Amino acid sequence: MDSADDYRSYADRVVVSIRFASMPVDEYVEVVVEIEAPGAAWHRDWLVGEFESVPQRQELPYVIKVQEDRHEWGASAAVFTVILYLGGAAASGVVGNAAYDALKAVAKDMAGRLRAADTGSAAPLTESEAIERSKVLISARFDEPLGGLELISSEMRFPDHASVSFQGESWHYDCDLALEDGLVSFNRVARRRR
């Protein structure tokens, strides 16, 4: 029989927050990419290795934090929250695009693992779902009140990919949301001063 320690390095849900730090004096832009993956048994070492490889390939300064939450309330559950801070020129230009593409590749790898584990699939992304998800992401990550967000635009670019823009009191937010293979949620939020 397996001991409880055998499961300490696994989680059945992963939330990854990647924050790009770039602060020119004249304009402050912050970009957050979030990846959310339910199902499968995510191994802590695999996750850290995958997400550390992104800044290492680009030779970017970074900080990575992994938080583990376990719930034993009837059914057992575990969640890893990975926070990756990328510095240097990661938020813009060629380096920023390469880092973003590398993160999308990790999301595709995660979707492949979920598909192999046959965990089912998520509901398709609709425009109304994209708008609501964007509001929740902005509110949770940037402490912006939900009621203070004014929808500027929303567009379904192709199935399971949407772009949504909001104005807050002091900030403008641009959100890109996608479902990778219908399984892994890949969300990018950029904010800039109004």
Q: Which residues pair with 22 in a beta bridge?
A: 29
Burial of 141 (0-12, 13-18, 19+ CB in 10 A): middle
Tokens of 81: 């929250």
> Which tens digits make up the pLDDT trace of 35-69?
887 766 788 888 889 889 888 887 888 888 888 88
Q: What DSSP line would sit under 98-139, residue for residue?
A: HHHHHHHHHHHHHHHHHHHHT---PPPP-HHHHHHHHHHHHH
Q: Is the pLDDT of residue 3 over 70?
A: no
Q: What is the pTM of this model?
A: 0.72
> Which tens digits make up the pLDDT trace of 104-155?
888 888 888 777 766 555 567 889 989 998 998 899 888 888 899 999 999 9
Q: Which residues neighbour 74 within 8 Å (Cβ) at sequence distance 6 or greater?
A: none
pLDDT class of 85 with cuts at 50, 70, 90 = confident
pLDDT class of 101 with cuts at 50, 70, 90 = confident
Q: What is the pLDDT of residue 60?
A: 81
Q: What are the structural domains, with CATH classification, of the chain?
A: 1-120 (no CATH), 122-194 (3.10.450)
